[in-house]
Amino acid sequence: MTAPAPDGSMESWDKRLETFGRIGPYVLLLISTLLAVIAGPWENIWITLGLPVFAAAWIAWWAALHPGWAQRGVLMGIYYVGLIALSALLAARTPWFAFFAFTGVMVALQLFRGFWRYAGIFVPTVLIAICQTGGFHPLSVGLVVLVLVLAVFESVLYVGFGLMGEKGDEQNRKRKQMIDELAEANRRLEETLLIVDDHPVVRDGLRGMFAGSDEFDVVGDASDGVSAVARAAALHPDVVLMDLRMPGGDGVSAISRMSEQKLGVRVLVLTTYDTDSDVLAAIEAGATGYLLKDARPTSCCGPSARPRAGTQCSRRRWPPGWSGGCVLRCPRASRSASASSRCSAWWRGERETERRPRGCSSARPR
């Protein structure tokens, strides 16, 4: 089973705030300026246009030109105070700049934590409430109460939206973490495979066949026995598919060295004939079993099997398109290897009886 990739649409709350912090202030400032110019007043229009230009320059200096300052609390405090002062000047010019005053809310959500976040939200919300009541007017008890009620109500809304965003962000992070953990677990379920053969065509063919499998991951290949031992020690594969007859180091010697070094790999011999005498030597050297190259079964024992004498190998499908033989004759090979050992011992004179063991040839082996 392959784990789904993390959903790219699960953009974090902090990421959205960061995106808004880059382009939002300019958009809100442009909208406010256009509305202010259209609605008037027309006298001293240079003030209405000049203050937004200065505000845009202020934002660009602190946020766009020096993004690294976002991690420095004192500098961001200066940036925020200047932003609020400019918002107040613009709101005093015309209430249409209430849109731009909302920038202070988003900056507070992005930069501040704890008490300072709530205070940073409340201050620009007061400016927005003043603009909503028609702008700066002579103070009265009723006006102050109305502005405070509006500011508190809207601050609660903004804080609530912020908490909802953070909660959703936390859930997304947990979901991504679960997906990553599932992907890692699935990766560990795959058998890692090292292919050893002196023919590049064979190595490339085997690698291509296993590429379509969810159960096997080819981590490397080697062209002879010497490099096979070195690659196995470096890559720590679960399984080694080993050809036996290779120039520059045969497979049996490589298997022996792997066993001596206790690499903990399972070696499967790739062979054309199950009567090959080299197969018995490979089994005695520590190979798990052998795979026939010319058989075409519908299913076969997989490299994950850990055969023991007298037991059956676990069975699993091999990759789609596998056309080579994959009959794992582990128990029979083990018995044959054991019989071969008994015969060799008998001919060397290590006999418990003068009777030749069953299965031994009458001719003395060379």
Question: Got the DSSP string for 181-194?
Answer: HHHHHHHHHSEEEE
Taken in order of first residue, the domains within the chain and their CATH numbers are 13-179 (no CATH), 191-347 (3.40.50.2300)
pLDDT digits over 68-88, tens only? Answer: 888 888 999 999 999 999 999
Per-residue model confidence (pLDDT) at position 298? 34
Distance (Å) of CA 75 to CA 2, 16, 18, 293, 359:
47, 22, 17, 71, 89
Task: Assign 343 a pLDDT band (cuts: 50, 70, 90).
Answer: low
Which of residues 146 and 43 earns the better pLDDT score?
Answer: 146
Q: What is the pTM of this model?
A: 0.46
| Confidence band for 360, pLDDT divided at 50, 70 and 90 | low
CB of 301 closer than 8 Å to CB of 313? yes
- Confidence band for 146, pLDDT divided at 50, 70 and 90: very high
pLDDT at 291: 75
- Does 312 score more than 50 pLDDT? no
Under the banding of pLDDT at 50, 70 and 90, the label for residue 49 is very high
pLDDT band at residue 55 using 50, 70 and 90 as cut-offs? very high
Residue 207: both structure tokens together: 């690698």
User: Is 323's pLDDT higher than 90?
Assistant: no
In the block, tokens 């690499």 appear at: 263
Lowest average pLDDT, out of 50-59, 69-78, 139-148, 209-218, goes to 209-218
pLDDT band for 164, please (50, 70, 90 cuts).
confident
Rounded average pLDDT over 270-287: 74
pLDDT of the residue at 296: 45
Tokens read off for 104? 């202070």
Q: Return the percentage of the chain with pLDDT > 90, whole number.
A: 24
- Average pLDDT for residues 116-135, to the nearest whole number? 92
Residue 217: band (very low, low, confident or very high) from pLDDT cuts 50, 70, 90: confident
Average pLDDT of the chain, as a whole number? 76
Residue type at 273?
Y
Answer yes or no: is pLDDT of 278 > 80. Answer: no
Instruction: Flag whether pLDDT at 93 surpasses 70.
Output: yes
Higher pLDDT, 203 or 124: 124
Tokens representing residue 42 in the block: 């027309």
Q: Report whether pLDDT(355) > 60.
A: no
**Exposure class string for 333-360: b at 16+ Cβ within 10 A, else e:** bbebbeebebbeebbeeeeeeeeeeeeb
Contact 331, 311 (CB under 8 A): yes
What's the confidence (pLDDT) of residue 166? 74
| Mean pLDDT confidence for 340-352 | 55
Residue-level pLDDT at 186: 63
The two structure tokens encoding residue 240: 């080694």
- Strand-pair category, 300-301 with 315-316: antiparallel
Cβ-based burial of 81 (10 A; exposed 0-12, middle 13-18, buried ≥19): exposed
For residue 189, the SS3 value is: helix
Q: Which two tokens stand for residue 109?
A: 């959500």
Model confidence at 28: pLDDT above 80 = yes
Tokens of 59: 């934002």
- In the chain, the percentage of residues whose pLDDT exceeds 70 is 69
User: What is the reported pLDDT for 317?
Assistant: 36
Higher pLDDT, 186 or 63: 63
